[in-house]
Amino acid sequence: MFTIENQVTGKVFRTDGDSAILDDALIHGLNFPYGCQKGFCGKCKATIIEGEVGYEGGIPNGITPEEVADGMALLCQCRAKSDVALVIDELNSVADIEVRTLPCKVQSIERLNHDVTQIFLKIPNAESLQYLAGQYIDLIHPDFEPRAFSIANAPGNDGLIDLHVRLIEGGKFTNFIFNQLREKSLLQLEGPKGDFFFREDSKKPVILMAGGTGFAPIKSIVEHAIATKLDRSIYIYWGVRNEVDLYMDLPQQWANENDNIHFVPVLSQSNEDWQGRKGFVHKSILRDFEDLTGYEIYACGPPEMVKSAAKSFVEQGMIQDNFFSDAFVFAFTGKK
């Protein structure tokens, strides 16, 4: 095994030298830039400061022999031959990321409860979608206007996009998803979009507040935090109506397995058996954190929830610049 260090961020990961350095960087949750992953576009170019890398099958087209002689390398193609110290700017802002329109196929579709369906979309092997944990895509179908859905899995390079879709009563597109979309159905996606993404350059403890399927981007953020071994404290609050709406056990598992992760589910319409928190989810946060000055807060879900949370968090010391939110406003313009 070899150690790879990015001297720009100080982040370190291990590789067995059998896969491309980029593949292992992405598996370890590092946001290295990339495009084609085929050695053509040059987007994954890095400078090798120390150590040796090699290419199987010769120098790829996306790098010149002069650049190789100057110590540069295409990380999507090269493999480590020793410990390596390199320099590459990791993505930390949406401005660095290209918005793409890509075909995708439904790999699986599964009901998680009475009104939430999980869809895994597969993008073609020859393509890639780079995004930051927390961002969303627009789903495109010729019969409908585009509809926004948050990406629920952490950035990686398996070409899979996890979506959690709540059925909207009378909603055209979500009814189509629940009643007509099948495995192997074809769609298009456009993305990544949005400035709701996890800020990795901060050291502050993090409060993640989700309402309903607002859990989707929170899941992406936490999976990314776990993959990158983030040691900041993470407090997850998930607000839903009833226990059945907590459609995944994952947050409790994360809390059981990671000392820095804490989970509080909050039900707004609990029955008598429920022993946990009740009421509005943001009120639970206000109760637990008397002073929110030192925290970074991410909130995602219904617009009313996000709005009232933002207002009362500021009254309890939250600094506006430390608040990030995605309100699930409706895309529908009345046409289709």
Ligand X SMILES: Cc1cc2nc3c(=O)[nH]c(=O)nc-3n(C[C@H](O)[C@H](O)[C@H](O)COP(=O)(O)OP(=O)(O)OC[C@H]3O[C@@H](n4cnc5c(N)ncnc54)[C@H](O)[C@@H]3O)c2cc1C
- Residue placing its CB nearer to ligand X in the complex, 166 or 224: 166
| Chain centroid offset of residue 142 CA | 27
CB of 61 to ligand FES, least distance (A): 8
Distance from chain centroid for Cα 304: 23
Nearest distance in Å: CB 300, ligand X: 8
For the bound state, the minimum distance from the C-beta of residue 315 to ligand X, rounded and expressed in Å, comes to 26
Choice between 289 and 328, CB closer to ligand X: 328
Report 16-45 residues binding ligand FES (CB under 6 A).
Answer: 34-37, 39-44
Residue 62 binds what, of ligand X, ligand FES, none (CB under 5 to 8 Å, by partner type)? ligand FES
Closest CA to 236 of 314, 321, 298: 298
**Between residue 267 and residue 326, which ones bind ligand X under the rule CB under 6 A?**
326
135 sits near ligand FES (criterion: CB under 6 A): no
Beta strands in 181-293 (DSSP E): 186-193, 206-211, 234-240, 261-267, 277-278
Give the up-direction half-sphere exposure of residue 241: CA atoms within 13 A in the CB hemisphere: 6
The correct pick among 38, 172, 204, 262 for binding ligand X (CB under 6 A) is: 172
In the block, tokens 């999976």 appear at 223
2/149 with CB nearer ligand X: 149
Closest to 278 in 3D by CA, of 287, 266, 289, 286: 266
Count of residues of this chain found to bind ligand FES when the rule CB under 6 A is applied? 13
Helix (H) or strand (E) holding 333: none
User: Is residue 100 a contact point for ligand X (CB under 6 A)?
Assistant: no
Q: How far is the CB of 146 from ligand X (least distance, A)?
A: 9
Backbone angles phi, psi at 12, to 5 degrees: -130, 140
Q: Is 245 in the site for ligand X (CB under 6 A)?
A: no
The answer to whether 103 and 137 are in contact (CB under 8 A) is no
Which string of b and e fits 287-296 if b means at least 16 CB within 10 Å?
Answer: eebeebeebb
Looking at the Cβ atoms of 36 and 140, the one nearer to ligand FES is 36
**Shortest spacing between CB 116 and ligand X, in angstroms:** 7
Q: Quick one: which of 322, 251, 311, 267 has its CA closest to 286?
A: 311
Residues 176-215 touching ligand X, rule: CB under 6 A, are 194, 213
- With beta carbons less than 8 A apart as the criterion, state whether 259 and 286 touch: no
Residues that bind ligand FES (CB under 6 A): 34-37, 39-44, 62, 74, 76
Residues that bind ligand X (CB under 6 A): 136, 147-150, 164-166, 168, 170-174, 194, 213, 216, 326, 328-332
